[in-house]
Structure 1
Amino acid sequence: MFRDTMLFFDYEIRHTLRNPVWPLFGVMQPVLYLLLFAPLVANTTAGGASTADTLRMFTPGVMIMIALFGSLFVGFAMINEIRNGYLERLAVSPAWRPAIVLGRTLRDMIVLVVQALLLVALALLLGMRASLPGLALMLLLMATTGLLASGLSYGMALAVRDENGMSQILQFFALPLILLTGIMLPMSLAPQWMQTVAMFNPLYHAVEAGRALFAGDFGNGSIPLGFGLTLLLGALTTAWSVSSMRRLAS
């Protein structure tokens, strides 16, 4: 099964490298947020905040944004493969069926880490200072968030099999999820009911964990909570997409 997974991963990563413009284009929106929105966030604190402090607070949130939007829409390509019969031919081949999904998911996580490194390099050039061990752990947290979003996208693609329907569903949930993370503006500025709702958003805890990691606050309780939630939900969404692939083959 490991061999089959790596074969599909090798195929998917080669396909991505033949078209590198899309992964690079995917990081441009977060870069613009970093350049244009972070200075506005600095002015929401009393007396303003230094550039370094603002970037240390804002960059982990933008990394989670990359993980969400970079993986949440990967399933659209799978819908086209279902329509032209390519995926069914793979599903009935002798290959281990979960590898069809796992190889793609592994590719998605690698692409996210590369995008994150580009974003962090820019933030460092702009003056951000962060804990190096915390940065390494943040990349891992971002990858688990990507696992969650990627598994959800592939599972939904296999269940819905329609680009318009899937797009409407994802857009409906993506915006509230992002707004309730505190990426754009601190949740301390929100009314109490929004702060309460945000506690049920796993991405909120991932962002809080990332900020604690960047600050070197490794004893912060948000870190195990952020990792635990993203890993659990990532395992569930991946299991759903694998199960959907098995049903497609049968």
Structure 2
Amino acid sequence: MLRHTMLFLGYELGNLRRNPAWPLLGIMQPVLYLLLFAPLLTKLTPGGTLSEALVVFTPAALVMIALFGSMFTGFGMINETRNGVLERLAVSQAWRPSIVLGRVAKDMIMLVLQSLLVLGVASLMGLRISLSAMGLMLLLMAVTGLFAANLSYGLALSIRDENGMSQIVQFFLLPLMLLSGLMLPISLGPDWMQAVAKFNPLYYAVEAGRALFAGDFSSGTIPTAFALFLVLGVLTLTWSVRSLRKLAG
């Protein structure tokens, strides 16, 4: 099982090395938000400093990578389905879940590396956090990517059409972003919005990240976010593997 997963991981990383432009372009949006949007939040922080604004916004920028990076990974799988590549892999001697797990492992590795780059930019801008907070945040990004990538692959294997999948992703992406407090803390919104946000799993990832960056390791949002995305990751992984089995007939 592990051998097959590592083989598919190596194959996916090889494809990534041959075309590294997309991962680099994927981090441009969060970096631009850090450079151009985070300074606007200084008026909302108690001290009015950029470093305080970065504590609020950098976790949101990292969750943004998980959203815009991992949620669009399934489009490549649709093309492989259309060309018959995925069907041949699904009926091969390989352990079938490894076909998905290898891709998800690649996505999680890329998400962590992209997060490190964003943290580096934020550090140059004045962000100061502990190593323990950084490590936990990177781990949180990995489990968030586990959920987002598996959800994308499950949608790709179920819909098998780029236009249909694009419409579904775009339809849900904006309300998920706004109700997670990505741009501004959800505490600034009306009561009804704060109540609805509690049903958005990304809200807990953003709030947990802000608690970690603020040094509040006792916040209940931290274990909630980890538990929630681990459960969602397992559920979406099961769904994507079952969809792959249906594809194989």
Q: Is the 8 A contact 1:131 1:215 kept in 2?
A: no
Shift of 1:49: 2.0
Match of 2:21 in 1: 21
Q: What is the alpha-carbon distance in structure 2 between the residues aligned to residue 5 and residue 45 of structure 1?
A: 46
Shift of 1:45: 4.2
Q: Is the 8 A contact 2:45 2:53 kept in 1?
A: no
Match of 2:68 in 1: 69
Structure 1: state its 5+ residue gaps: none
Q: Is the 8 A contact 2:45 2:52 kept in 1?
A: no
Q: Which amino acid aligns with 1:210?
A: G
Task: Give me the TM-score of the superposition, normalised by structure 2.
Answer: 0.98
Q: Which amino acid aligns with 2:42?
A: A
Q: Is the 8 A contact 1:98 1:246 kept in 2?
A: no
Q: Is the 8 A contact 2:34 2:61 kept in 1?
A: yes
SS at match of 2:37: helix
Q: Which stretch shows the higher mean deviation, 35-44 or 116-125? A: 35-44
Q: Give runs of aligned pairs for residues 28-67 of structure 1, distance below 5 A.
A: 28-45=28-45, 49-67=48-66
Match of 1:174 in 2: 173
Match of 2:187 in 1: 188
Structure 2: state its 5+ residue gaps: none
Q: Which amino acid aligns with 1:105?
A: V
Q: Which amino acid aligns with 1:127?
A: G
Q: Report Cα offsets for 1:85-106 as digits up to 9, x if no partner.
A: 1110111111011111000000
Q: Percent identity?
A: 65
Q: Which amino acid aligns with 1:130?
A: I
Q: What is the alpha-carbon distance in structure 2 between the residues aligned to residue 45 and residue 130 of structure 1?
A: 17
Match of 1:207 in 2: 206
Shift of 1:204: 0.4
Q: What is the alpha-carbon distance in structure 2 between the residues aligned to residue 215 and residue 136 of structure 1?
A: 14
Match of 1:148 in 2: 147
How large is the Cα RMSD of the aligned pairs? Answer: 1.0
Match of 2:85 in 1: 86
Q: What is the alpha-carbon distance in structure 2 between the residues aligned to residue 169 and residue 193 of structure 1?
A: 25
Task: Give me the TM-score of the superposition, normalised by structure 1.
Answer: 0.97
Q: What is the alpha-carbon distance in structure 2 between the residues aligned to residue 52 and residue 103 of structure 1?
A: 38
Q: Report Cα offsets for 1:118-155 as digits up to 9, x if no partner.
A: 00001001110112101101000001111111000000
Q: Is the 8 A contact 2:156 2:165 kept in 1?
A: yes
Q: Give runs of aligned pairs for residues 214-233 of structure 1, distance below 5 A.
A: 214-233=213-232
Match of 1:3 in 2: 3
- 1:246 paired with 2:245, answer yes
Shift of 1:44: 3.2
Q: What is the alpha-carbon distance in structure 1 between the residues aligned to residue 99 and residue 159 of structure 2?
A: 18
Q: What is the alpha-carbon distance in structure 2 between the residues aligned to residue 132 and residue 215 of structure 1?
A: 12
SS at match of 1:25: helix
Q: What is the alpha-carbon distance in structure 1 between the residues aligned to residue 48 and residue 245 of structure 2?
A: 52
Q: Which amino acid aligns with 1:11?
A: Y
Q: What is the alpha-carbon distance in structure 2 between the residues aligned to residue 43 and residue 160 of structure 1?
A: 45
Match of 2:98 in 1: 99
Shift of 1:218: 1.1
